Amino acid sequence: MPRPKAKKIIVQFDDGTQTEAAFENLTAQSQRELLKQPVLFNFSPDGESKKFVLLEWKDGWKEVKAVDASCTEINRYYVITRPEDVGRLSLKMEDGYPELLEIGRTPLDLKRISFVENHEIVPKQSDREGKKIDHFFSLNANGDSLSTALEGFRKALDEEGIDMKKLSMDSYPKIARRMGVRAFERQQDVLDFMDYLAENVARES
């Protein structure tokens, strides 16, 4: 279900007077809390039940993709050349078949996959079968992915001159651009990822 966009909030007092404010002027934390209230909204925000995979290429390009919350870790990453290159990222799920992501953008140049941990991609071997070539890679864990993303988020806030206490959801596209994060498929995933990072920063404060 698409997320409707809240426009304003109205507070009415017991003497009949009321006050209102544009929803975008509330802090990001206040917006999140209001959006979660079942008495106000009968839907769950898109990012509530998802985890995020952040892909980074050698040229610095980054894309984020929301995946099901039951995904636990990376199975493997490999590329099939037949004759075009198609990357395939397999994620383990708690139940059922793994979730499979197809990487179409220069999959042989993928540098890092961040999911639970940062994984540096290292070529391992290539097997040819007729016109088909299978490329296999080692995934070397290199630090906690959330800590790395939060560091980038805080740096973007500082560079944009945004006070965390005054952060609103309308600032998310600007922060994402500063971090160089783009959508793998859906722009909503970028916004949900920014909200996820903002919530973790607020929790640490």
pLDDT digit of tens for each residue in the chain (205 aa)? 345 677 889 999 999 899 999 888 887 778 777 776 656 654 444 455 679 999 999 999 999 999 988 899 999 999 999 889 999 999 998 877 899 999 999 999 999 999 999 999 999 999 999 889 999 999 999 999 999 999 999 999 999 999 988 888 889 999 999 999 999 988 989 999 999 999 899 887 6
Domain extent at residue 106: 56-114+121-139
Domain assignment present for 76: yes
Domain assignment present for 6: no
Domain assignment present for 12: no
Domain assignment present for 127: yes
Domain assignment present for 151: no
166 sits in the region (left: phi over 0; alpha: psi -120 to 50; else beta) called alpha
Domain assignment present for 49: no
Domain assignment present for 99: yes
Residue 182: how many CB atoms within 10 A of its CB? 15
Report how many domains make up the chain: 1
Contact 92, 102 (CB under 8 A): no
Domain assignment present for 185: no
